[in-house]
Amino acid sequence: MMTKMRYLVPEDYMADPAVHIFNGRVYIYPSHDWDSGAGENDNGDHFEMRDYHVFSTDDIMEGEVVDHGKVLDVDDIPWAGRQLWDCDVAEKDGRYYMYFPLKDKNDVFHIGVAVSDRPEGPFTPMPDPIRGSYSIDPAIFREGDDYYMYFGGLWGGQLQRYRDNKALEEPHLEPDEMPAIPSRVVKLSDDMLQFAEEPRPIVILDPETGEPLKAGDNSRRFFEASWMHKYNGKYYFSYSTGDTHRLCYAVGDNPYGPFVYQGCIMTPVVGWTTHHAIVEHKGRWYIFHHDCVPSGGKTWLRSLKVAELEYDDEGRIKTIDGGGS
């Protein structure tokens, strides 16, 4: 059976979707790609995004997708250097908190917060980034009164510059036989503006050996694009494998893990990066993601898509063909 899919914003380039249901409506928080002319390299300089738009709909596959316009601009963020990458938004007590990664004036990524009274923004940035924050790709998972941020990304995402939440003198990618550099998870403070604790590593275990996945296990280990969702009482941590271009997932019994590797959610799309959000709406499951088909393969000009996601009877996600190689 063909997977049902849809391009959501055909008139512009949007990527890295985070998606939540607020007040019964589906809100999409993507990165906003454009052609800055920056050369393509492993540092991600070609992802030179300068603002965010918010989109919403009441019917994921068929409904009108409303563009709520520009909701945050890099020029309005006091600590900004460059590159607004993947963001996410959480609601608490009727206020909406946008978490965004941005390089500071020294070209170091941190995670900032901007606040609004409405899910569609506009968002007002706090004067400084979250204390102790680093790297990219914040994704927020709410469980009751607790809010967890998953974050981190290798290479241009700078995660290899940190160990135990401290900056290293020199960036250090682990040798192939060592445990892979992990994504991080941290609980947010009551006011949603800071970390409530030290970020912890997300350990992904090999189901055969029970050992953490190794750094050289490029087709399964974490690279970037963390997402968390819950299905049938289990915690599903999903992520991109980066240089092998797959979306994979691992399952655990609590938000901190450890998680046991399960498989591939989506094979490579057209384009280098792959990045997603998984949500349930009206009893069906969806994966929002992006590819570079409309731009003819330009990896810095990505288009927002959605596909239906299916589980088998044991809760395993059925692999979707991303259409790339």
Judged by the rule CB under 6 A, the positions of this chain that interact with ligand FUB are 15-16, 31, 47, 85-86, 136-137, 153, 224-225, 273, 275
Q: Specify the residue, 35 or 59, whose C-beta has the smaller distance to ligand FUB.
A: 35
State the DSSP H helix or E strand holding residue 186, giving kind and residue range, or none if neither.
Answer: strand 184-187
CA distance 157 to 136: 6
Integer angstrom CA distances of residue 128 from 14, 124, 147, 208, 259:
26, 12, 20, 44, 33
Token pair of 217, please?
């296990």
State the DSSP H helix or E strand holding residue 73, giving kind and residue range, or none if neither.
Answer: strand 66-73
Residue 114 pairs in a beta bridge with 98, 125
Q: Respond yes or no: is residue 224 known to be catalytic.
A: yes
Shortest approach of ligand FUB to residue 6 CB, angstroms?
20
CA distance 206 to 221: 10
Shortest approach of ligand FUB to residue 69 CB, angstroms?
20
Q: Specify the residue, 189 or 218, whose C-beta has the smaller distance to ligand FUB.
A: 218
Shortest approach of ligand FUB to residue 5 CB, angstroms?
18
Residue of 33, 88, 137, 224 marked catalytic: 224
CA distance 151 to 140: 9
Shortest approach of ligand FUB to residue 223 CB, angstroms?
8
How do 204-205 and 259-266 pair as beta strands? Answer: parallel
Q: Specify the residue, 123 or 300, whose C-beta has the smaller distance to ligand FUB.
A: 300
Cβ distance 81 to 60 under 8 Å?
A: no
Q: Specify the residue, 15 or 19, whose C-beta has the smaller distance to ligand FUB.
A: 15
Q: Respond yes or no: is residue 243 known to be catalytic.
A: no
Residue of 16, 33, 86, 91 marked catalytic: 16
Supply the residues annotated as catalytic. 16, 224
